[in-house]
Chains A and B, each alone.
Chain A
Amino acid sequence: DQQVKQNSPSLSVQEGRISILNCDYTNSMFDYFLWYKKYPAEGPTFLISISSIKDKNEDGRFTVFLNKSAKHLSLHIVPSQPGDSAVYFCAASSTGGGNKLTFGTGTQLKVEL
């Protein structure tokens, strides 16, 4: 049972445009959500997070939106840059769950010149 789902395995965007990566979850106990970025042969790198008490968090070019009623979150990257090309993982956690992360299957983002 996949509790965190990323239904788009890949996304291609032109440089300078907006990239929107989506994530859905099923477990209502999740109250903290994170996005990680992963380059080949490296470990995931933390990008941005959001608590369930908020619906938006912004950090530079990255913004995460949370829709609790729909159990949906999205990551917006504006403007997209070629260095953003990587696999993006959505992850979720619950404060009572010891901080272990439940990950989605990832979305491969390619930013083209």
Chain B
Amino acid sequence: GAGVSQSPRYKVAKRGQDVALRCDPISGHVSLFWYQQALGQGPEFLTYFQNEAQLDKSGLPSDRFFAERPEGSVSTLKIQRTQQEDSAVYLCASSARAGGLSINEQFFGPGTRLTVL
């Protein structure tokens, strides 16, 4: 595909359930980012990968959040024991070059809307 894809697009979970959100970045993109967007807010940074290495996870709100990118392409964001405050849109973005070397455009996927009941 030409752009960043995310699945599922919508997820409803019961409180306490574990969820896994998938991101397929643009082929060949080195950097991958996860953001969380609460209703009426801007996206907030969660974590950053350069290839398979997770270089920054400072935005993950708790140890219930875990992200991986084992082969440097597809990434999964996992949320354990979901809580109502986890309800948000989770956005994935990729960019062609490595962070810190030069600023370059991030391409965003459509997001996964997570609703925790």
Contact = CB atoms under 8 A, between A and B. Distances in A.
Interface of A: 4, 6, 32, 34, 36, 41-46, 49, 51, 89, 91, 93, 95-106
Contacts of A103: 35, 42-44
Nearest to B45: A100
List of 4 A-B pairs having minimum Cβ-Cβ separation, nearest first: A103-B42, A43-B108, A99-B99, A98-B99
Contacts, number: 70
Nearest to B111: A43
B103 interface: yes
Contacts of A43: 4, 91, 93, 108-111
A104 B42 contact: yes
Contacts of B45: 100-102
Contact of A99 (B40, B104, B109): B104
A105 B106 contact: no
B31 to A, nearest CB: 7
B56 interface: yes
Nearest to A45: B108
Nearest to A100: B45
B110 A89 contact: no
